[in-house]
Structure 1
Amino acid sequence: MSHGFDKITKKGDSPRPITLEKKDLFTRIVSFSPKLLILILILPVLCGLICVLLPALSWVPALEKTTLNLQGFIVLWQTPGITQMAALSLATGLISTLLAFVIALMILAAFFNSVWLQRIEHLLSPILVIPHAAAAIAVGFLIAPSSMFARLISPWLTGWEMAPDGMFPHDPYGISIILGLTLKELPFLLLMALGALAQPELGKKLRQQYTVALNLGYYPITAFFKAVLPLLYPFLRLPILAVLAYASASVEMPLILGPNTPPTLAVSIIQWFNDVDLTLRIKASAGALLQLVLTAGLVAFWLGGEKIVKAIFNVSSVNGKRRYADAIWQKVTAMLTVGVIGFMLLSLAGLVLWAFAGFWRFPAMLPEQFVLLHFQSAFTQMSTPLVNTLSIGAVSTAFAVFLTLLCLEAEQLSARPLSHFTSFIIYLPLLVPSIAFLFGLVWLQQLANHQSEFFNVAFAHLLFVLPYVFLSLASSYRRLDPRFAHVAASLGAAPIKVFFQIKLPQLFAPILIAIALGLAISFGQYLPTLLAGGGRIATITTEAVTLANGASRRTSAVYAIMQMALPLIGFILAWMLPKHFFRSGAR
């Protein structure tokens, strides 16, 4: 009987599977963990879709409706403004995704293999952890009639002595939503691209091809699009589709920045679901299915557009043309990058100023006095939402990290990577509009466990935390030097001992980063908290969204800052703790 691995292998060798005649409990748990991962991610989504389909077909026993019919869809279609709602959702989702993708490509092309690309990454990375609601509040403060931008150009340029009337935010065309979504999703797509380039083999190959193209006389931007992008894009497809699915069914951004007459479809669905008239939940379920169809249509449209662009690109990629006004595009991209970063920094500066502002008349650039009154007032009412935010985030993140580590350990013990099916399922909650399956999941949770709102909310958060935690930890775990584990196994160490005493200490820093990321994702969840908690679980995010639609601008700023501060503290600790422990261990 073999106890562990047969021999010590060289670095880079594939680990050999466990050949124990009788697996111990830990090994059995590890072997089962990928199946549990699939069950946790796929069952709620599929059951949620099924459970939203039945109410949409008017089958709601709780309301004494047990006859299947299309009345919900008929009522939905007769809703005033339904066409505008659907069109607004489609337009804002597609345009914002396209803009974020194009700007990310322009930045990559203009600064590829340049030190500036790393500097831009460092500037944009903090934006990634800012919740959508906080980002929407910051953007709203900057484009409002009395915003920081208006104050910058008044009165010397505009002549405004009083705040003018303006259509931003809440413009009927969804421009404010597009702006907010673009600025929030741009860092995500850019960092996904940089993450793909960080893969040793792929990054080396792409940089070599880029250098060869430059040596052949291609200008830098043309060299990127012809030599780098064709191989890089497949690694961006799923993140792009996830962004497209989120943007088309977003709730926080349209609630804070979007129009009200009519709002986007997703916002209308939430309003119908929360109405005191429970029969409107039938129309809400029908609307959720319509949202699913719209998002699926956008995904199909994007994939079809890929084929058209690829056909055009294939012709131009071999025409031998070395440049396409590269110098002009280089300058345009540099100006656009400065503008985007400046807009983000100005938004955050305005948010901070409003949080501490006392009396602040227009068009003064700075408040006449800075006070802590708004923080003191907010903190007196923030204890319960803060405790809920931290506890739900801790529970969902802890489970997500532990399950992810077990799944990655299962890869190594079986010497086989996770299947393509499992890898796709990890993205499933991000690709399916949350508003579609969460409605069904809420129906199911109310039937099975209607008195445990905390558990329901934590489980709903887990569906969105788990994919990000897995993607964060996977590359670090797979790059572990297998020789340490092989040596320990050859000396008779049990798999559980190898896992906890050999592997996890090496992953201390990546695990902390994954925990910080998981907490940041959980802290920013609005729709899962609202629906799964039935409105009875208040968090910092739900309170921030509520306050952004009618409360004092200063109070909204305080809650938005708290939204940003919580994940920021998590990432600071994840960055500092490894240095402290490693320095202490070296003494």
Structure 2
Amino acid sequence: MASALPIAVLLLLCLLPTASGLLGSLLAWPPALTVSDAWPQQLSLSLLQSLWVALASTTVALLLALLLARSGFIQRQGFLRHRWVAPLLSLPHVAFAIGLLMLVGDAGWLWRILPDSVSTWAMPNKSLTALITVLSIKEMPFLLLMLVSQRNLFAAEQWLAVATRLGYSTNQSYWLCVVPELLRRVRLPIAAVLIYGLAVVDVALLVGPNTPSTLAVRVYQWSLQQGELALAQTQLGSVLLIAAALLLLMLLYAAVEGYQFFATRRLRRGPPAAVPRFKGFSDKFISALWLILTAAVLLLLILQSVAFAWFYPQWWPQQFSWQAWQGIPQPWLLLGRTAVLALLTASLAVISVALISAWRQQLRARQRGIVDVLLLLPLLLPQISLVLGWRAWLPSGLASMIWAHCVFAEPYAFLVLIGPYQQLTPRWRWMLNSLGYGRWRTEWLLVRGKLMPALGFAWVIAFSVSVAQYLPTQLLAAGRFPTVTTEAVATASGGAASQTAAMALLQALLPLLAFVGYRLYDANVAKLGKGANADV
């Protein structure tokens, strides 16, 4: 009990900001409002738009992730195994949104090289379609990573083999046997994506609709205004977002249970008489399309950032210049400030999550589930509501901003580490304990011998999450601590295309370097491991 006390205190410190932010939003209810008759209708439309964006983007991203995960479960391969995917995964949401609009938006590069009759398919720059498209494409790799991480945690291969012997096709076996269990195991990551789509602000400011905006954007805009009316509107919007998040979580639970019920009923009916063959074309097509699209976005950002004169409908710039890069004020200071903040956030997040994960392994299954929900709680609540609640409780400054960054980075690090920790069977601890090692010495030896690659990847994810944070940086630091993300959003809202592309690339640079560094480290560890095995 005494050894668990420090971890319990650490968990409490992780949860305290979430609880304070939630209370800060809820205690402001009910606000006193005196508004026009049309205002409730506009608010309802914004809320419906937010719900539609969350449901549509999460559904599309999940379906794509399940299709791609199929090859990982059936053929033990998948596009996540390609080493050149990591740089593309590191592209932040804001940078990707900017590049995607330059590629397929109004007057985008793709429509310049295609016939005019095809340009009618261009994606509107500020629309629900653009917002849903960006979120779907960017959230799919995260969900795929969460799905594939469960591959060794249950007997998926045995289930597929048994179902195939019973007469089901490989495709039917996957969707009826494996997918229901996968959905049950990754409900919390799916919920995090769902709530992110509901309450996203930075991406919605760039590509979302304006008439009206989504509810999270309107709450953010009200929070920047002065006066009692703006304060009341902000409080009402924050509480409505929390209520909408609870509604989405209930819908997700019902959908997972409903799919499991459907799969069970379908299995009881037995295999069909004619079994269609499925060669996995969709897996390869979707992965190739995603990789080509993301690579095209990255290359177009590079080209646009050095383009000085590039007018529609020319498909290639008339002149090139470094003027956009030279126009960034103190870029090295901006990068250094962001990097130091991300380094500190990632280190604190990974250390705290590693300690909590080690303690979690000693708990019972029900207690582990409670710890999981508590650690992921910041992702299961609208970020704008939490940050506004913190702003009401905490003084504006660097310490509050770092605290908020850690709160949002810890859940992602935990999602990366939970799978590797669960793969550590008790026999490893029994063996080390039998050699006379204490509890924490045993945990350190296991971390050093088995979990260093996973810890490194968790650190990279936490680093990237910190770099991409917009609301905590903008609201809790009161604009006195600009980062590459806040500057990228500000530039994209009214800057030239070349300046916007340069800032987007500057935002993507730090996560890219972190991912490349992790890949080099992972490859070096694997090489040393093979050399040691060869010597033996």
2:168 is paired with a residue of what secondary structure? coil
Counterpart selection for 2:52 from 84, 91, 94: 91
Counterpart selection for 2:17 from 24, 29, 44: 44
Contact map agreement 1:523 1:541 (CA 8 A) in 2 = yes
Map residues 390-409 of structure 1 onto 2, 5 A cutoff. 390-409=339-358
Q: Give, in angstroms, the shift of residue 490 of structure 1.
A: 6.5
Amino acid at match of 1:318: R
Counterpart selection for 1:198 from 148, 152, 171: 152
Q: Does 1:439 align with 2:393?
A: no
* Aligned position for 1:81: 42
User: Taking structure 1 as the reference length, what is the TM-score of the superposition?
Assistant: 0.81
* Aligned position for 1:149: 110
Q: 1:332 to 1:501 in 2, by over 3 A?
A: closer
- Structure showing greater radius of gyration is 1
Deviations 1:91-110 (A, max 9, x none): 11111111111222233346
Q: Does 1:572 align with 2:516?
A: yes
Deviations 1:449-496 (A, max 9, x none): x4xx11111000111111122232344345458788777766766666
Deviations 1:67-87 (A, max 9, x none): xxx414978983562122111
Q: 1:214 to 1:365 in 2, by over 3 A?
A: farther
* Aligned position for 1:376: 326
Deviations 1:497-522 (A, max 9, x none): 66657743654333322221111111
Q: 1:208 to 1:409 in 2, by over 3 A?
A: closer
* Aligned position for 2:27: 54
Q: d(CA) in 1 for partners of 2:492 and 2:249? A: 31
Q: How many residues are treated as equivalent by the alignment?
A: 530
Contact map agreement 2:123 2:130 (CA 8 A) in 1 = no
Q: Give, in angstroms, the shift of residue 327 of structure 1.
A: 5.5
* Aligned position for 2:69: 108
Residue range with higher mean Cα deviation, 368-377 or 343-352: 368-377
Residue range with higher mean Cα deviation, 487-496 or 550-559: 487-496
Residue range with higher mean Cα deviation, 188-197 or 577-586: 577-586
Counterpart selection for 1:220 from 152, 158, 170: 170
Amino acid at match of 1:175: T
Map residues 415-494 of structure 1 onto 2, 5 A cutoff. 419-446=368-395, 450=396, 453-477=397-421, 479=423
1:435 is paired with a residue of what secondary structure? helix
* Aligned position for 2:336: 387
Q: Give, in angstroms, the shift of residue 391 of structure 1.
A: 2.1
Q: d(CA) in 1 for partners of 2:368 and 2:34? A: 38
* Aligned position for 2:308: 358
* Aligned position for 2:297: 347
User: Taking structure 2 as the reference length, what is the TM-score of the superposition?
Assistant: 0.88
Contact map agreement 1:73 1:283 (CA 8 A) in 2 = no
Q: Does 1:561 align with 2:534?
A: no
Amino acid at match of 1:363: P
Q: Give, in angstroms, the shift of residue 528 of structure 1.
A: 1.5
Q: Give, in angstroms, the shift of residue 443 of structure 1.
A: 0.6
Q: d(CA) in 2 for partners of 1:560 and 1:40? A: 34
Contact map agreement 2:169 2:275 (CA 8 A) in 1 = no
Q: 1:324 to 1:532 in 2, by over 3 A?
A: farther
Contact map agreement 1:110 1:220 (CA 8 A) in 2 = no
Deviations 1:158-185 (A, max 9, x none): 5x8xxx99771103xx111110110011
Residue range with higher mean Cα deviation, 485-494 or 463-472: 485-494
Q: Does 1:183 align with 2:137?
A: yes
Contact map agreement 2:405 2:472 (CA 8 A) in 1 = yes
* Aligned position for 1:24: none
1:217 is paired with a residue of what secondary structure? coil
Q: Gapped runs of 5+ residues in structure 1?
A: 1-17, 19-27, 58-69
Deviations 1:363-396 (A, max 9, x none): 3333234433322322x43344323312221222
Q: Give, in angstroms, the shift of residue 120 of structure 1.
A: 7.3
* Aligned position for 1:277: 227
* Aligned position for 1:169: 125
2:28 is paired with a residue of what secondary structure? helix
Counterpart selection for 1:294 from 244, 254, 257: 244
Contact map agreement 1:76 1:287 (CA 8 A) in 2 = no
Q: d(CA) in 1 for partners of 2:279 and 2:385? A: 40
Contact map agreement 2:180 2:259 (CA 8 A) in 1 = no
Contact map agreement 1:72 1:286 (CA 8 A) in 2 = no
1:419 is paired with a residue of what secondary structure? helix
Q: d(CA) in 1 for partners of 2:121 and 2:364? A: 62
* Aligned position for 1:32: 5
Q: 1:547 to 1:327 in 2, by over 3 A?
A: farther
Amino acid at match of 1:53: L
Q: 1:101 to 1:79 in 2, by over 3 A?
A: same
Q: Give, in angstroms, the shift of residue 529 of structure 1.
A: 1.3
Contact map agreement 2:176 2:264 (CA 8 A) in 1 = no
Amino acid at match of 2:178: V
Q: Does 1:542 align with 2:486?
A: yes
Counterpart selection for 1:117 from 78, 82, 92: 78
Q: 1:110 to 1:400 in 2, by over 3 A?
A: closer
Q: Does 1:525 align with 2:469?
A: yes
Contact map agreement 2:206 2:492 (CA 8 A) in 1 = yes
Q: Gapped runs of 5+ residues in structure 2?
A: none
* Aligned position for 1:25: none
Q: d(CA) in 2 for partners of 1:404 and 1:193? A: 20
Deviations 1:427-450 (A, max 9, x none): 11111111122211111103xxx4
